[in-house]
Amino acid sequence: MTTPHQVTPRLRTPVTETDHVRGPVDAPVTLVEYADFQCRFCGVAYANLAELLRQRADRVRLIYRHFPIANVHPYADDAAQVAEAAGIRGRFWELHDWLYEHQDQLDPVHLSLGVEQLGMSADEIDAEAGQQAHGDRVRRDFVGGIRSGVDATPTLFVNGSRHNGGYELADLLAAVDAATPE
């Protein structure tokens, strides 16, 4: 009789300097999130991750990667494109936060208004998004997620191993604390 092996999926695409990083570069715990700006579960995780970063500021860094599920969330890919356009201007995290705080307003009109609220040119960013100027980056993140076994959003990896717990604050704190070297 054999025993089935349970394999924890691993992050297949290593973190690089091109990733969107929040938190100290030398943090002992790296949390990689594959997410979709229009996913309501990602919206819940967003608030909990923000609090996690506040409570464990010296111990964790967050890497954000795009995983737009366009067949379920029609505005997710456009939101990712716009976020990347903001990122080219050094404003990724500002727009990231705006997108999660306004998840019910991701249609093109509201998205342009959000860009303007943050002081960027909606015309420039809309043109880039319309031309899929950042499509390679969004696709690279998505394919890296597929290779790492991502099948839903949000999916989190803690120090390279898939986090199979929840994304409530207590679950995230426990995962970070367990992964922090003594």
pLDDT along the chain (182 residues), means of 10: 66 96 97 98 98 98 97 96 96 98 96 96 93 94 97 97 95 97 83
pLDDT at 2: 55
Work out the burial of residue 75: count CB atoms within 10 Å of its CB; fewer than 13 is exposed, 13-18 middle, 19 or more buried: buried
Q: What is the pLDDT of residue 75?
A: 97
Alpha carbons 158 and 166: distance in angstroms, whole number: 12
Q: Which residues face 65 on adjacent strands?
A: 34
Distance of alpha carbon 154 from alpha carbon 48, whole angstroms: 12
- CB neighbour burial string for 133-146, b if at least 16 within 10 angstroms, e if fewer: ebeebbeebbebbe
* Nearby residues of 66 by Cβ (< 8 Å), 6 or more positions away: 34, 35, 36, 80, 83, 84, 137, 138, 141, 142
Alpha-carbon distances, residue 92 vs 65, 109, 132, 158 (angstroms) = 12, 19, 17, 22
State residue 4's pLDDT score.
62
Residue 7 confidence (pLDDT): 63
- Predicted local distance difference test score (pLDDT) of residue 130: 87
25 CB-near residues (< 8 Å, 6+ apart): 61
- Give the pLDDT score at 83: 97
- Which CA distances in Å does 9 have to 67, 70, 124, 133, 182? 17, 24, 39, 31, 24
- At residue 5, the pLDDT reads 62
**Contact between residue 86 and residue 170 where contact means Cβ atoms under 8 Å apart:** no
